Structure 1
Amino acid sequence: MSRVLVTGGASGLGAALVARFVADSHQVLSTDIAAESPAPGGAQYRQLDVRSADDWAAAVAWCEENWGGLDILVNNAGIATGGRIDVESLDEWARVVDINLMGVVRGCRAFTPQLKKQRSGYIVNTASAAGLVHPPMMSSYNTVKAGVVALSETLSHELHPYGVAVSVVCPSFFRTNLADSIQGDDTEMGATARKLIEKSPRTADDIAAGVLAGIKKGQFLIIPDRPALLAWRTKRFARPLYDRQMRKIAARARDRAEAAEVQPTGDRVPAAEVQPTGDR
């Protein structure tokens, strides 16, 4: 039985992971930004804002005092964002970097001393297929998720001598409430992302099942669904085809944006169309 902490555990993939770990008889601490939140029977809950170094320090102290340490840290908390480079604001860039990338960095930094001392442990970082393949109109999201992949690979080597393993999770779009976190100036891109999330045939529990299977196998790169795997393999082994697909998407977005600019009245034409490379 492992001691597990999951960030972003109140909803979406985080909640599905918490439920799966509980079902496997692990001790689980679900954390999220809210002061209180329901958790599956057997799990405990604690408020943790991944932007707060103090909250992370308190979480480390809680695990030490109540469990004597931690076995699995799941850095899952995050938001959805995206937009065209000349439309999305720098404030939104700062927001997604602080949460989706630096939130993971803070978690890894906070618990690494404890895991090194134990000479054991497992860090699981939720990235996205967008960390492996990079569709247009998603600059900020692609960038932070690629950063999580890079951080995870670095730590998989750095912490190996201490007996600490690392995995990174890269799913495509699946049904969740993630779209509710979309903000920013590129509202048309946000609407497109919401549609892709809400119409996906995959559920958070489907992805969680794939994640736990990957953890049990000790996989570094966990790609829990077929669309994400196909997109990644296309980029690796058929790069000209991948580039053509991405440029067609960008060209269609250009055409729609230009058409929207000349419409005198009525609804605007969606300006963005992206590949299914979603998130938690």
Structure 2
Amino acid sequence: MSRRVLITGGASGLGLALAKAFVGRGDRVLVVDLADARPASVPEAVDYFRVDVRSQQDWDAVLAHVRDLWGGLDILVNNAGVATGGRIDVESISDWERVLDINLLGVVRGCQTFTPLFKDQKSGHIVNTASLAGLVHGPGMSSYNAAKAGVVALSETLGFELAPWGIHVSAICPAFFRTNLHESLQGKDTEMEATAVRLITKADMTADEVARIVLKGIDKHKRIILTDRLGRQAYWTKRLARPAYNKMAGKAAERLQRKA
């Protein structure tokens, strides 16, 4: 059965990979992103609408557009986000405000906007792109970790809160994979950002590989979707072998100290 899917930040990276994967399965997809005109990257089979996830006015407009286009929605993917990295005494408050407004409040706005529609339908699935950084909190990434941990907490909360209406909620928590996310870096801590660029560009997995795993997790209504071996190892080490996790994070902090 064909599903109606809305993906924020869907013109590139994981969002675009998810759009292609959904379309490949016969689903109807609406991609939203910041460009005024339809980006060339968006496949012909995919609809496009401009949305800045920081703007409630834009969210209201896309809700009306979805009602006109399809009369409802089956899956909302809150995927839009930016990369950031910085030590607490280097990264500016303005950088914090930017990442929280996009990566966390952008997700909150999407959930708030479409929850009434899902409740009316008594069905729907909210999929929020978090990160392994939402579960495992390494040093030098305070703002990004905090934003993504907030997305995980929001997703878990809504998973219980909205279940009586038949609404499922999932958080995607991938480790590093090859994408263009590093192009959104613009903070003060250039050394930490250089590390992030290296980790993203040299990662083993591609966005298409991550997207295929995510779709399987959505089909199974998983609350947390881990997409790779590194992520599963780090997550379960933190939960089940905390001393080993603390040692690993401590060594990362020592490496960071040598750069200071």
2:70 corresponds to which residue?
A: 67
CA displacement at 1:218 relative to structure 2: 1.2
Q: TM-score, normalization: structure 1?
A: 0.91
Q: Return the index of the structure with the highest Cα Rg.
A: 1
Structure 2 unaligned residues grouped into runs of 5+: none
Would you say 1:247 and 2:250 are equivalent positions?
A: yes
Deviation >4 Å, runs of 4+: none
1:154 corresponds to which residue?
A: 157
Instruction: Tell me which amino acid in the other structure corresponds to 1:23.
Output: G
User: Is the contact made by 1:136 and 1:250 (CA closer than 8 Å) also made in structure 2?
Assistant: yes
1:87-133 Cα shifts (integer Å, max 9, x gaps): 00000000000000000000000000111001010000000000000
Instruction: Say which SS state the counterpart of residue 136 (structure 1) adopts.
Output: coil
Would you say 1:7 and 2:5 are equivalent positions?
A: no
Instruction: Tell me which amino acid in the other structure corresponds to 1:24.
Output: R
Query: 2:5 and 2:248 mapped to 1: Cα distance?
Result: 40
Query: 1:3 and 1:125 mapped to 2: Cα distance?
Result: 16
Query: 2:187 and 2:67 mapped to 1: Cα distance?
Result: 39
Instruction: Say which SS state the counterpart of residue 85 (structure 1) adopts.
Output: coil
1:56 corresponds to which residue?
A: 59
Query: 1:256 and 1:55 mapped to 2: Cα distance?
Result: 42
Query: 2:43 and 2:219 mapped to 1: Cα distance?
Result: 21
Aligned residues: 257
Query: 2:256 and 2:112 mapped to 1: Cα distance?
Result: 40
1:20 corresponds to which residue?
A: 21
Query: 1:246 and 1:222 mapped to 2: Cα distance?
Result: 23
1:173-217 Cα shifts (integer Å, max 9, x gaps): 000010000111100000000000000011000110110010111
2:216 corresponds to which residue?
A: 213
Query: 1:206 and 1:12 mapped to 2: Cα distance?
Result: 12
Would you say 1:42 and 2:45 are equivalent positions?
A: yes
Give the RMSD, CA atoms, in angstroms. Answer: 0.7
Instruction: Say which SS state the counterpart of residue 165 (structure 1) adopts.
Output: strand
Structure 1 unaligned residues grouped into runs of 5+: 258-280
Query: 1:192 and 1:4 mapped to 2: Cα distance?
Result: 34
CA displacement at 1:138 relative to structure 2: 0.5
Query: 1:201 and 1:255 mapped to 2: Cα distance?
Result: 27
User: Is the contact made by 1:7 and 1:77 (CA closer than 8 Å) also made in structure 2?
Assistant: yes
Q: Which moved more, 1:95-104 or 1:63-72?
A: 63-72
CA displacement at 1:41 relative to structure 2: 2.9
Instruction: Tell me which amino acid in the other structure corresponds to 2:170.
Output: S
Instruction: Say which SS state the counterpart of residue 168 (structure 1) adopts.
Output: strand
Instruction: Tell me which amino acid in the other structure corresponds to 1:52.
Output: S
Instruction: Tell me which amino acid in the other structure corresponds to 2:92.
Output: S
User: Is the contact made by 1:22 and 1:40 (CA closer than 8 Å) also made in structure 2?
Assistant: no
